[in-house]
Structure 1
């Protein structure tokens, strides 16, 4: 396996790193480290980039100035991981994270969580990775042990893990990530191994199945090294017996850059930095040949040839991404009518025109078209991944739009799907019914835009949408999607605070707090869960006032008066509870400037910052006694009560 094969190769990375180290300005040095992290690199180059970034940060470089989000990760391991920290931090740079990594003492993961660890408590991790190996805490069962004895031993081990996971959440409100186990010992029974309940390989497999099931129940994420080993083989640098006996390394230093990326992409997803939209070229990317020259009947696609089947396989993979919630778009130098005809008329197309939320085919340069796609979909350029078979086009986009993810592709289209998957652009921390419907929701927005163009006035358009908004307390069913929105939404997000499921559940079940999920439907369809509001008492505010801790909304419903309708719900609920005032907070993040005047537009007045507030935060106050519900054209349905989680 070639590590980080989706990243472009640098013509001379070592020379570029040396040149960057001569940069005197810390901020400029950090920006260069971020750029260099985006190239294919080995263990040595990764370590050098890590030192460059560390020096820049120690000398005063601000992560935000380099487009980075600070994030704290603690690793509690039963195998040696110190050599992996540079790879994790550098992979974080490539994924827009300034990762601080705390490594607990070797093998002390139980003591760190169940006992008193002053360094870990001072660090206050946002994510805790339990990196365990198959040799840690063996079950010590005889080979002849019964199926029932093995099942009981596995249950006991997983219950211990559940205790550790819960402890991590209780102490730090951290997102917990559990590493699955890689079988380290050779089989004892050959191909009969899986039929012996207590064989070493069978026990590891049983443990992993049980760990995955428990993690699903507990809201724990997985770093699934077992699946990595199954896909790529253990010869890649996992569970090498030489490295294990020499240094207790489960992951060799050779594999450190790839392992670091596996960790960083999970942290990025938890921090809301995963990408949202797959933008596809057409000719020689979705089919073989040039449709403008070869015609629909002349392109290579589908059964009958190895090449045609490979293109069809890539289309099927893209369609599956669309079904799990990735927005699909097209950006092609082509005649629009000819390009769209392939989606409608070719019998072997796995992707249909209705799957594409934004279809751009013209002779304009692709950088301009990608800007247009991002604007049309109301998402940032850093949400896009652009797949194009042409190396020159890929190079142009990387140069003109460095925010866009552009994977290097193999020569053979048969490897396109695996390359996009390996890049981990669309790593996620949850999957809900709303996710599955997201692509269709964006496609329906095109119909709404068409209706707007035909409308004679905005009021008439909004009234004609027939919008229905449902605001209800966040319950068990809404919890995964609400947490996902909190951690992914960047633009229409007043404070960009990030919370784990456990933290959102704690707020939702607090009788003094208010945790709302907001859904919106109209005559075109259901937009799903589009807004989350978390409000709570704050020690720095007078009793009877409620701080709006979090107010966020999906940008795809901008301009439809959802903010006004939501404020009406907040005012009515505040009156019902006897709340005297709502206090709104705006914390600039560099990406949420669009909501800087949100509270002013809704009739709040500026007020002094409470004690202990973030220095650049602004606060706004609304007196409930004199507040009026803003006018809007949305029918509102509410169901608000203290949530009970099952």
Structure 2
């Protein structure tokens, strides 16, 4: 597969970059760089895009929607040539990434000693980019299984200590780069049978790192797996590059390497996509259902083309099982299209797997807007899979926020190209994630029930809702962090935190980190709200700042806000808090909650110091407050 093959090819990227260089305004140059970062590019073009964006990235305009992230790279090999690829890939994924590269080979000193530059940088993400030639485990080839196990355990213990130091000093999310083999096997196919053979030891070490990372909440970057099949030697561990410049990753592969880093960073900050929208004809099956009929389309076993389309469906179904919302957007007759899902015996996807099904003869850009509205998600949450190049081009032009991957001519390669694009990168997997697609489908049933009633209060009582509030612990931490970093509409402050930062606040006995779930007679809505409340230097003792209050738009209109406020005031009173201070920081997307605090009875107060311009501040006295009326049962046990 060609590097970044899922991105479209610009008709003349070089000319576009030359024209953009003549733009004087840094903000406009940055906007142009963001646009050009969405095209297939090599090492040279990537460097030119970074230079185009550089001045604007110093203070990116709010209207561009870039989320800032500070990344520190602590490496045992040369990585400076990879920084432009990381920053440009970040632009493509909506991130303004600042990068600090510690001195070559000084990763231990940076974390165990004093590194004023790193401390001043205060990274949110720390990448430990180590190579197999750094502190290799050197054992005699005849060493026993026990000797290998002991040596591997010692090396992993050292790295775990570094992970802990990064979290303790910076509250940073740590990413550990798995080790890449840099020497050929000594024993050929027999290598795995020799416990102390170098490659066997390396595989043991990587396996132990995977296990330790799961336990410690550390993320992994597996370069060997992600870059496989990308060209000669996969751009990794080229002996010539290594001996000349200690480069583990070739400059040729810098754009892909940057994308691998940026997709992890995006997932940490909740910028991963969460909905796969599928075309039907010649995307999920071969042929046109309206012309060929159910019996005439190509799908299923016994035919190479039919099996390839079945593989596409199976991959989509697996994405649905891990929590990606599935939708359909097709130019088709609705009844005819749905009938395939119900009646074709070889379908791997069924109608119940699809949370939003839109089939008509309108333009697909308009239908994608309808799908996003129906699911209460942003257009930037969508990935649209369509075999038709013209349709892909139209959607990219009309809806630049929607990810539209290029596809090869052979449908057998569709799953590989979609998977390689990394749209659905994640930093965790929970039961709530697995149930997400089903949750959106159940929401359609709730909406249908609402449309059949004329009495909203009776409808809400009939839902038999229960709001469960729990202090954020290990089980809630990954999903709560996801929500903090990806919720934009019902989010009063849109502060973004890493998992380590949320954990630190949850461990603070003077603060409150709360995760709330909502169930009803249709099923479990999952974790739908997060509240972080804490003391603040600008407040008096006995007052809490509501640092973060966010809620899933799926539960809007059910009086969950009032029930949540009752939970918050109850828990605040238990900790001797007599006043809650709420902030509203306006953004381009959270206008729906501008009067949130006033609706709940908060009173306006003077602005707090060192707040962004436009921040509104509200105060609520918990002592003697009137109980909130709502139709929701509360569970605070």
TM-score (structure 1 length as normaliser) = 0.97
Equivalent residue for 2:284?
286
Alignment match, 1:605: 603
Does the CA contact (< 8 Å) of 2:3 and 2:230 recur in 1?
no
Which residue number in structure 1 is paired with residue 425 of structure 2? 427
Match status 1:39 vs 2:54: no
Deviation at 1:272, TM superposition (A): 0.9
Q: Does 1:131 align with 2:129?
A: yes
Corresponding residue SS for 2:527 = strand
The CA deviation at 1:635 is: 1.0
Deviations 1:505-554 (Å, cap 9, x if unpaired)?
22222221111111101111111111111111112200010111111111
Displacement of 1:485: 1.6
Pairing 1:167–2:204 present: no
Q: CA offsets per residue over residues 450-504 of structure 1, 9 Å max, x none?
A: 0011011221221111111111222222122222222222221112222233322
Shift of 1:618: 2.0
Aligned twin of 1:51: 51
Give the CA deviation at 1:57.
Answer: 3.4
Q: How does 1:501-540 map onto structure 2 within 5 Å?
A: 501-540=499-538
- Partner residue of 1:8? 8
Give deviations 1:385-414, integer Å, cap 9, x for gaps: 000000000000000000000000000111
Q: Deviations over 1:561-598 (max 9, x none)?
A: 11110001111222222211011122233322222221
Distance 1:151 1:279 in 2: 46
Q: How much does 1:41 deviate?
A: 0.3
Residues 224, 236 of structure 2: 8 Å contact kept: no
What is the alpha-carbon distance in structure 1 between the residues aligned to residue 357 and residue 488 of structure 2? 25
Measured in 2, the distance between the counterparts of 1:176 and 1:491 equals 28
- Tell me how far apart the structure 1 counterparts of residues 472 and 621 of structure 2 sit (CA, whole Å): 25
Larger deviation, residues 567-576 vs 81-90: 567-576
Residues in 1 aligned to 2:229 and 2:10: alpha-carbon distance in whole angstroms: 27
SS of residue paired to 2:531: strand
Aligned pair count reads 637
Shift of 1:304: 1.1
Q: Matches of 1:229 and 1:203 in 2, distance apart?
A: 21
Aligned counterpart for 2:629 among listed residues 624, 631, 636: 631
Counterpart position of 1:562: 560
After superposition, what is the alpha-carbon deviation per residue over 1:583-627, rounded to whole angstroms, capped at 9, x for unaligned?
Answer: 112223332222222111111111123333334422111011242
**SS, match of residue 426 in structure 2:** coil
Q: Contact 2:273–2:380 at 8 Å: present in 1 too? A: yes
Q: Matches of 1:189 and 1:462 in 2, distance apart?
A: 69
State the distance in 2 between where 1:78 and 1:150 align: 23
- Hey, what's the Cα distance between the residues in 2 that align with 1:210 and 1:157? 10
Gapped regions of structure 2 (runs ≥ 5): none
Give the superposition deviation at 1:343: 0.3
Do the aligned partners of residues 261 and 531 (structure 1) sit closer, same or farther apart at CA in structure 2, a change above 3 Å counting?
same
1:100-141 C-alpha deviation (Å, 9 max, x unpaired)? 111111001111111111111111111000111111111111
**What residue in structure 2 maps to residue 643 of structure 1?**
none
**Aligned match of 1:111:** 109
Partner of 1:322: 320
Q: Show the 5 A alignment for 1:21-40.
A: 21-40=21-40
SS in structure 1 at match of 2:623 = helix
Partner of 1:185: 183
Which TM-score applies when normalising by structure 2?
Answer: 0.98
Q: How many angstroms does 1:232 deviate by?
A: 5.0
The 10-residue stretch of structure 1 (337-346 or 474-483) with the greater mean CA deviation from structure 2: 474-483
Q: Distance in 2 between matches of 1:133 and 1:259?
A: 15
> Equivalents in 2 of 1:69, 1:475: separation in Å?
26
Residue in structure 2 matched with residue 266 of structure 1 by the alignment = 264
The separation in 1 between residues aligned to 2:121 and 2:515, in whole angstroms, is 32
Q: Secondary structure at the match of 1:508?
A: helix
**In structure 2, do the counterparts of structure 1 residues 473 and 551 end up closer, same or farther at CA, with 3 Å as the change threshold?**
same
- Structure 2 CA distance, aligned partners of 1:578 and 1:187? 65
What is the match of residue 157 of structure 1?
Answer: 155
CA distance in 1: counterparts of 2:141 and 2:353, whole angstroms: 52
- Quick one: distance in 1 between partners of 2:43 and 2:282? 34
In structure 1, stretches of 5+ residues that fail to align are 640-646
Q: Distance in 1 between matches of 2:285 and 2:544?
A: 56
Deviations 1:410-463 (A, max 9, x none): 001111111111111110011000000000000001101100110112212211
**C-alpha deviation, 1:230, in angstroms:** 5.0
Partner of 2:590: 592
CA distance in structure 2 between the partners assigned to 1:591 and 1:169 by the alignment? 31
Q: 2: CA distance between counterparts of 1:98 and 1:500? A: 16
| Worse-matched range after superposition: 242-251 or 473-482 | 473-482
Task: For residue 208 of structure 2, give the secondary structure of its aligned residue in structure 1.
Answer: helix
Q: Is the 8 A contact 2:6 2:406 kept in 1?
A: yes
Output the aligned Cα RMSD. Answer: 1.2
- 1:164-563 maps to which residues of 2 (within 5 A)? 164-230=162-228, 235-563=233-561
How far, CA to CA, are the matches of 1:472 and 1:185 in structure 2?
Answer: 51
**Whole-angstrom CA distance in 1 between matches of 2:84 and 2:227:** 22
- The answer to which of 491-500 and 269-278 deviates more is 491-500
